[in-house]
Chain A
Amino acid sequence: METFGLLMNGFATAMQPTNLLFAVMGCLMGTVIGVLPGVGPAAGTAMLIPVTFVLDPTPAIIMLAAIYYGAMYGGTITSVLVNVPGEAASAITCIEGYEMAKRGRAGAALSIAAIGSFIGGNVATIGLVVLALPLTTLALKFGPPEFFALMVMGLSLVTGLASKSMVRALMAAIFGLMIAMVGIDPVMGAPRFSFGMTELLSGFNFVPVVMGLFGISEIFANAENPIGEIFETKLSSLVISVKDLKTSFWPIVRGTFIGFFLGLIPGVGAVVPTFISYVAEKKTSKYPEKFGTGMIEGVAGPETANNAYANAAMIPLFTLGIPGSPTIAILMGAFMMNGLIPGPFLFKEHAEFVWAVIASMYIGNLILLVLNLPLIPLWVALLKMPYSVLFAIILGFCVLGSYSIDSSVFDIGVMLAFGAIGYILKKLDFPLAPICLTLILGPLMERGLRQSLEISRGDFTIFFTRPISAGLLAISAIFVLGATFQMVGKVRGSDTQV
């Protein structure tokens, strides 16, 4: 009952005209980011952070959250109509969605994606409402050892799932932690690895680093092999038949559950739920042999899972302060820039803000459903822009975005340097998500570790004598060892990866 009252207050705040306007703007901007290849949700959200500088924290976060889930939906449009996924999570939609479009059923594919996304997103948000208070109550019992163990668990999941090679994934995670070490030491205040440069005293700003790793590196890769001619299909009527709705019912139900439960696990990433959902639909279908020829279940399931994941991934962020994906890490950074620390205290100290953002997620899902379908011709027209113009504009916004964070040209240089590093690491098949997550979590992890050891006077058994931290560390160990042995099995087989 208490939750319901808080949520209603949240709706009252989220429905204020200013907040509603920024939710609409966020949905539109997010859809543009999702539609455009070459700028994923992480880089896109980071790029648009300066736009929210003038705003109060509530509309700023409402807008950035809307950009995030708008981008997750936007990628679908290009997957269906031009066979180019705007972002990685929509890649699986190309298989059935584009086939449907070639058969003149693009409208049905986009409509079912919108309906599924709406249902998946809303169910996941209900989950957030239901789980928020119990999880935060539990998290309030956490001390530094438990938080450290929780972050270790999140990182072990990220590294375990991020790459074909555990070694490369761990190296990426440690590299990210090392970048996070630059600047003032979080416990004693001593400068580290700043090499006498005043710009480095406050550490690397995460926004230019993420824009470099995910935005500039992607543009380098596209400049290397620019996308060629696109076969564009025609958009049919957006009205969906009753038969299609019936066929899509169970895929939407399954997609919702898959996306929701995977969203609760930090580090799974947005791509995994969509692939699992697609495989689940193929396995449960009476006609698995027809998959690949334009089966609506192959769009409904993954697209629902995609949005259910996007909304459910907010649960670990809001309740525990653990970001599960690079884009959520950007949101976490935006919270911090507004003086808000995600985690259990957020619900206690800024209840009005946090429930307004949660309520805005329902509204945002509705906005996406109502607004985006009629605007599809506009998004397609946007894609007809020559790639040279598109990439020049994206680059310009990257320069502008990284400069305006701290009004520093040094940050533009940081973005460029990390763009080059990201490009090289991608070529070498290193996953980039662990770098981004550890960059955000690094100072929190270090603080957790050092405060724990201060409590125990240097005794490391503190992590194993407290039941919650011991349990979390055991899960991490099982996961890392499991992933490593799986890797060893693969190495012994034909597919050898370093």
Chain B
Amino acid sequence: MKRPYQITAVVFILFSAFIVREAMELKFYTSLGPGPGFFPFWLAVLLAILSVMMLYNATFKDAGPMPADFWASKVGYIRMAAIFLAISAAVFLMELIGFRITMLAFYLFMLFALGRQNLIVTALVSLAGSWGVFQVFTELLKVPLPIGIFGI
């Protein structure tokens, strides 16, 4: 686990440096006491110190072997990418084309990407998860869900 921990420590050090810089642009101390920059500044300093400790330990001590399942299989990464893609698409499309069409496409895509099912199961799950959920949430639970440019 040496290299992953080293990379993680460096990422956290850079993140801390960024937070310190941002915190310094806020008021550090006011006449009433600590300002908005006080807490984030010291948190970032603490995180940086801990990250340096992590880097030191990973570099100069035995960080232990990499677990056998640290990296996923190719199929595993494809599935994860599919999930990432589907949720990202939902972020961009939901308010444009509406909840029902977005979620219908979401379920159809997910059921295809995670393992193909027979057509009836796919159709039932997709319709229940889009049109069915829309009805329950908007009518029964009074939770508004987006209607898109097609009016659905």
The reply to whether the CB of A491 lies closer than 8 angstroms to some CB of chain B is yes
Chain A window 70-111, contacts with chain B (Cβ cutoff 8 Å), 1 for yes, 0 for no: 000000000000000000000000000000000000000000
Residues on the A chain within 8 Å of B91, using CB: 409-410, 412-413, 416
Please judge, given known A-B contacts A389-B125, A413-B91, whether A454 and B117 are in contact too, CB under 8 Å: no
Shortest Cβ gap from B111 to chain A (Å)? 5
Residues on the A chain within 8 Å of B90, using CB: 399, 409, 412
What's the Cα separation between A54 and B106 when bound, in Å? 26
Pick the contact of B94: A170, A188, A409, A416 (CB < 8 A): A409
Residues on the B chain within 8 Å of A185, using CB: 26, 36
Whether the Cβ atoms of B79 and A389 lie closer than 8 Å is no
Whether the Cβ atoms of A50 and B83 lie closer than 8 Å is no
Whether the Cβ atoms of B137 and A400 lie closer than 8 Å is yes
The reply to whether the CB of A51 lies closer than 8 angstroms to some CB of chain B is yes
Whether the Cβ atoms of B39 and A449 lie closer than 8 Å is yes
The reply to whether the CB of B38 lies closer than 8 angstroms to some CB of chain A is yes
What's the Cα separation between A449 and B43 when bound, in Å? 13
Pick the contact of B34: A174, A192, A216, A450 (CB < 8 A): A450
Shortest Cβ gap from A91 to chain B (Å)? 17
Shortest Cβ gap from B115 to chain A (Å)? 3
The reply to whether the CB of A285 lies closer than 8 angstroms to some CB of chain B is no
The reply to whether the CB of A171 lies closer than 8 angstroms to some CB of chain B is yes
A195 to chain B: closest residue by CB: B22
Interface residues of B in 102-152 (CB under 8 A from A): 103, 106-107, 110-111, 114-117, 121, 125, 129, 133, 137, 140-146
The reply to whether the CB of A196 lies closer than 8 angstroms to some CB of chain B is no
Shortest Cβ gap from A455 to chain B (Å)? 8
Pick the contact of B57: A167, A446, A453 (CB < 8 A): A167
Whether the Cβ atoms of A498 and B58 lie closer than 8 Å is yes
Tally of chain B residues near chain A (CB < 8 A): 73
Main secondary structure of the interface of A (DSSP, over half): helix
Residues on the B chain within 8 Å of A225, using CB: 69, 72-73, 76
The reply to whether the CB of B86 lies closer than 8 angstroms to some CB of chain A is yes
Whether the Cβ atoms of A453 and B33 lie closer than 8 Å is yes
Whether the Cβ atoms of A491 and B61 lie closer than 8 Å is yes
Pick the contact of A412: B32, B50, B54, B87 (CB < 8 A): B87
Please judge, given known A-B contacts A53-B143, A188-B36, whether A174 and B46 are in contact too, CB under 8 Å: yes
What's the Cα separation between A437 and B140 when bound, in Å? 33
Shortest Cβ gap from A177 to chain B (Å)? 5
Pick the contact of A192: B26, B58, B63, B88 (CB < 8 A): B26
Shortest Cβ gap from B28 to chain A (Å)? 12
Pick the contact of A181: B1, B39, B88 (CB < 8 A): B39
Chain A window 444-470, contacts with chain B (Cβ cutoff 8 Å), 1 for yes, 0 for no: 001001100110011000000000000
The reply to whether the CB of A496 lies closer than 8 angstroms to some CB of chain B is yes
B5 to chain A: closest residue by CB: A498
Residues on the B chain within 8 Å of A420, using CB: 84
Residues on the A chain within 8 Å of B73, using CB: 224-225
The reply to whether the CB of A204 lies closer than 8 angstroms to some CB of chain B is no
Interface residues of A in 183-204 (CB under 8 A from B): 185, 187-188, 190, 192-193
5 sample A-B contacts, Cβ–Cβ < 8 Å, listed by A number? A53-B142, A387-B114, A395-B87, A395-B110, A400-B145
Which A residues are within 8 Å of any B CB, using their own CB?
50-51, 53-54, 167-168, 170-171, 174-175, 177-178, 181, 185, 187-188, 190, 192-193, 216, 219-220, 223-226, 386-389, 391-393, 395-396, 399-400, 403-404, 407, 409-410, 412-413, 415-416, 419-420, 423, 427-429, 446, 449-450, 453-454, 457-458, 491, 495-498
